[in-house]
Amino acid sequence: MDQLKVTIIQSNLYWEDKLKNRKMFAEKINKFTENTHIFVLPEMFNTGFTMQAAEFAEEMNGETISWMRDLALAKNAVIAGSLIIKENNQYFNRFIWMQPDGICINYDKKHLFGMADEPKNYTAGAQHCLIEYLGWKIKPIVCYDLRFPTWCRNTTDYDVLLVVANWPSKRITHWDALIKARAIENQCYVVACNRVGLDANEIEHNGHSAIFDPHGEELYFTDEASIENIDLSKSHLQLLRRQYPFLRDRD
């Protein structure tokens, strides 16, 4: 498929209230009438970036996973975002990719944010993830992973680097620079979904969700709560890689 339609939902979040967040995102998604292939939600979309892992974790057969499965089927589109998952008595900040056919693919955040005590409350993932969907190769990462270019390096010829985050306003210039850099150095689309609003720790988020093409051109940007549909072009990506075959010389 040449055109991949991606819908970014940049939103405020209800702090540690899974029911309200699910209801809010369901309303936004159900009101959206454009055709799309993927809805992208922020990091920890059903709780906010809480360190109360034991209190708010779910298992893979829990309510939020079931909610994602039902919504993906109803909208005939992928629902993607991260949430807290308990598995083998450990807690993970887990990215969930839920397809309309019920197939679920997950990725556990590798780089945990020490400044917020995330490593004290969560277990780091150890495995890369490559999703193949509709003829596209998509690599998901979560927030702080974005700072580590070796982890993001395009050694598998992926087409899209998909980032979900709770990235604060205080360091938003870093976010802006890094998502553009990851697109250029990996010759891929970068789809980056952040949140907006003030959380319970008085940390402000101003979004800056964006999409960059493989040449580093900005296709989409917003600093407000919004839901937006953007087309990615496989032929455009392939043309740029033929014209500028930088990946051929990668380490």
Residues classed as catalytic: 43, 109, 143
For 39, 188, 189, 231, 248, the CA distances from 236, given in Å and listed in that order, are: 22, 10, 10, 11, 18
Angle at 50 between CA 121 and CA 110, to 5 degrees: 50
For 48, 53, 160, the CA distances from 132, given in Å and listed in that order, are: 28, 30, 10
Dihedral sign computed on CA atoms, order 195, 209, 106, 1: positive
Q: Is 235 strand, coil or helix?
A: helix
Contact between 213 and 244 (Cβ < 8 Å) = no
How do strand 204-206 and strand 38-40 relate by DSSP bridges? unpaired
Q: Pseudo-torsion of CA 147, 193, 26, 19, nearest 10°? A: 30
- The distance in angstroms from the start CA to the end CA of the chain is 30
- Return d(Cα 99, Cα 94) in angstroms, integer: 16
Place of tokens 């949140």: 195
How does 88-110 read in b/e, with b if 16+ C-beta sit within 10 Å? eeebbbbbbbbbbeeeebbbbbb
Angle between helices 63-75 and 18-31 (to 10 degrees): 0
